[in-house]
């Protein structure tokens, strides 16, 4: 029975997942090692809820109740929950280190999940003490709005863990889809060429990034590839491209782009840093 959910990482995804979990009725702990990000994440949640109240989508009482279910944590010792959703940097070692440090503060019923976009759930689980209670729980950006959640099963995940994750996703108002553990799962695998081919056109001087965005949006896509990469975060999108490329044995069609690599090196990560392909005012 899931009563408390702890989200580790309060960045782009973590804060949105925390809002979704609290709105779904769960006591919600939001943890980050960076206090500024934690406060920024909470401010974003408050702003989103205020907007929803003003639009009449939730009542004032519901807004207060959602906020009342949220707890901010700066110390890993406070991350005691029935379900952990990890949403930190897209690096296997960082994620494993976090899960190992969370273990002593959690019981033998706690389910551990990762919101990773591309790392192998099987490889992560095999380095953790309870692979049967480990799975991928992949939300999409922005988490409070996007309905899809990929529930990623490894060969070690047990049935009751999967059933619990399908149930709690529905309680959060999401549409869960059960996926096998494959590079990029389903969505990030299918979507890879959308980013990579667009980057290739810029590399080859065929068109500018803003022209490509305008054309793709005019032809029916909700967001052009460069606006979407800025929303996702260029560091995250580049890390996903690299890990899918490696996992697929480096096919030339999936080669990560030097343009995006440079964006990451220059710290031009997109909306979260105020500059990516475009410039954003905070
Ligand atoms: N950005 C997207 O569109 C998107 C979509 C789906 C899934 N994801 C996945 O979600 C995860 C997080 O992505 P994001 O875009 O939110 O990243 P982000 O850079 O916005 O936030 C990551 C946060 O993790 C915190 N952090 C780093 N190490 C930590 C630790 N050891 N303990 C606690 N907090 C720590 C950082 O301070 C930062 O606030 C990644 O695995 C990514 O692949 C991202």
Of 125, 150, 237, 268, the active-site residue reads 150
In this structure, the number of other CB atoms found within 10 A of the CB of residue 129 comes to: 12
Residue nearest to atom 1 of ligand 1 (CA): 232
- Is 80 labeled as catalytic in the residue annotation? no
User: Does ligand 1 have an atom closer than 6 angstroms to the CB of 15?
Assistant: no
Cβ–Cβ < 8 Å for 98, 31: no
> Which atom, in ligand 1's list, is nearest to the CA of 10?
39
- Asked if residue 11 has its Cβ within 6 Å of ligand 1, the reply is yes
DSSP per-residue string spanning 65-80: HHHHTEEEESSGGG--
Q: What is the pLDDT of residues 151-184, one digit of tens each?
A: 999 999 999 999 999 999 999 999 999 999 999 9
Is residue 187 included in any domain, yes or no?
no
Q: Round to whole Å and give the CA distance between 226 and 246.
A: 23
- Residue 278 forms part of a structural domain: no
Structure tokens at 32: 């980050």
Q: How far is the CA of 28 from the centre of ligand 1 (A)?
A: 17
120 carries an active-site annotation = no
For the chain, the domain total comes to 2
Do 46 and 160 belong together in one domain? Answer: yes
Please give the number of the atom of ligand 1 that sits closest to the Cα of 94: 31
On the question of pLDDT at 282 being above 80, the answer is no
* 125 annotated active-site: no
281 confidence band (pLDDT: 50, 70, 90): confident
Taking the centre of ligand 1 as the mean of its atom positions, its distance from the CA of residue 281, in whole angstroms, is 21
Backbone angles phi, psi at 279, to 5 degrees: -110, 140
Question: Does residue 215 line the site of ligand 1, with CB under 6 A?
Answer: no
Note whether 18 and 132 are same-domain residues.
yes
Parent domain of 135: 4-180
pLDDT in tens, 110-131: 999 999 999 999 999 999 999 9
Distance 90 CA to ligand 1 centre (A): 7
| Segment 230-250, tens digit of pLDDT | 999 999 999 999 999 999 999
131-137 long-range contacts, CB within 8 A, separation 24+: 131/156, 131/157, 132/156, 132/157, 132/158, 132/161, 133/109, 133/157, 133/158, 133/161, 134/161, 135/111, 135/161, 135/162, 135/165, 136/179, 136/181, 136/185, 137/85, 137/113, 137/165, 137/169
Is 197 among the residues known to form the active site? no
Peptide bond into 159 cis (omega under 30): no
| Same domain membership, residue 166 and residue 112 | yes
Write the residue with the smallest CA distance to atom 29 of ligand 1: 88
**238, 210: one domain:** yes
Residue 150, pLDDT above cutoff 80: yes
Question: Which pair of structure tokens corresponds to residue 22?
Answer: 């609290």
Q: Is the pTM of this model over 0.85?
A: yes
Domain's final residue, options 114, 149, 180: 180
CATH number of domain containing 214: 1.10.1040.50
Distance 240 CA to ligand 1 centre (A): 12
Question: Residue 166's closest CA among 154, 152, 156, 180?
Answer: 152
Tokens 């890879």 found at = 192
Give me ligand 1 centre to Cα 218, in Å.
31
């Amino acid at each position: 029975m899931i009563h408390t959910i702890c989200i580790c990482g309060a960045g782009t995804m973590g804060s949105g997942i925390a809002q979704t979990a609290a709105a779904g009725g769960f006591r919600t702990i939001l943890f980050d090692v960076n206090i500024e990000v934690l406060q920024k994440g909470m401010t974003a949640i408050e702003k989103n809820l205020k907007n929803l109240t003003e639009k009449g989508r939730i009542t004032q009482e519901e807004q207060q109740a959602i906020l009342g279910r949220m707890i901010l944590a700066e110390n890993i010792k406070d991350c005691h929950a029935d379900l952990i959703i990890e949403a930190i940097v897209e690096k296997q070692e960082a994620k494993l280190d976090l899960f190992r440090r969370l273990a002593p503060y959690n019981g033998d019923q706690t389910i551990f999940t990762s919101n990773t976009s591309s790392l192998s759930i099987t490889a992560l689980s095999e380095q953790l003490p309870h692979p049967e209670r480990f799975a991928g729980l992949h939300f999409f950006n922005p988490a409070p709005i996007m309905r899809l959640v990929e529930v990623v099963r490894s060969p070690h995940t047990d049935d009751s863990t999967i059933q619990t994750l399908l149930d709690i996703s529905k309680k959060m108002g999401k549409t869960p889809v059960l996926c096998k553990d494959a590079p990029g799962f389903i969505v990030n695998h299918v979507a890879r060429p959308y980013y990579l081919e667009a980057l290739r056109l810029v590399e080859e001087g065929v068109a500018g990034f803003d022209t490509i965005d305008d054309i793709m949006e005019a032809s029916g896509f909700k967001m052009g590839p460069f606006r979407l990469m800025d929303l996702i975060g260029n560091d995250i999108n580049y890390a996903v491209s690299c890990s899918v490329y490696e996992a697929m044995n480096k096919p030339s069609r999936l080669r990560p782009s030097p343009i995006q690599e440079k964006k990451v090196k220059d710290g031009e990560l997109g909306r979260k840093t105020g500059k990516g392909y475009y410039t954003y005012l905070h």
